[in-house]
Chain A
Amino acid sequence: MTDALQFIPQREPFVMVDSVEILCQDKCTSRFAIPEESPLCCVTESGTVTFSVPGIIEHIAQSVAAFVGESTLRIEGRVYPGYIGEIKDFVLSRIPVAGQTLDTDIAITAVVDRVTAISASCRTDDGTQVASLKMKISLDKS
Chain B
Amino acid sequence: MNRTPYTLKGDTVTIDYANPIFAGHFPGKPMLPGVYIIQMATDWACQQTGKNLTIAEIRKCRYIKPVTPELGTAFQIDAELVPDPTEETVFSLVFTLDIQGEPVTQLKATLKSL
Chain B residues within 8 Å of A42, by CB = 3
**Distance in Å: Cβ of B33 to nearest Cβ of chain A:** 6
**Distance in Å: Cβ of A5 to nearest Cβ of chain B:** 11
Partner of A83, one of B24, B34, B109: B34
Whether B38 contacts A140 by the Cβ 8 Å rule is: no
The answer to whether A86 and B21 touch (CB under 8 A), given A54-B39, A81-B29, is no
Chain B residues within 8 Å of A54, by CB = 33, 35-36, 38-39, 42
**What total of chain A residues lie within 8 Å of the partner, measured CB to CB?**
35
**What total of chain B residues lie within 8 Å of the partner, measured CB to CB?**
32
Chain B residues within 8 Å of A61, by CB = 34-35
Partner of B54, one of A11, A12, A95: A95
Whether A81 contacts B3 by the Cβ 8 Å rule is: no
Give the most central of A10, A84, A95: most B CB within 10 Å.
Answer: A84
Chain A residues within 8 Å of B21, by CB = 13-14, 39
Does B27 interact with chain A (Cβ within 8 Å)?
Answer: yes
Whether A140 contacts B66 by the Cβ 8 Å rule is: yes
Whether A53 contacts B38 by the Cβ 8 Å rule is: yes
Does B1 interact with chain A (Cβ within 8 Å)?
Answer: yes
Chain B residues engaging chain A, CB cutoff 8 angstroms? 1, 3, 20-21, 23-27, 29, 31, 33-36, 38-39, 42, 52, 54-63, 66, 109, 114
4 closest A-B pairs by beta carbon, nearest first, are A54-B35, A90-B58, A14-B24, A11-B24
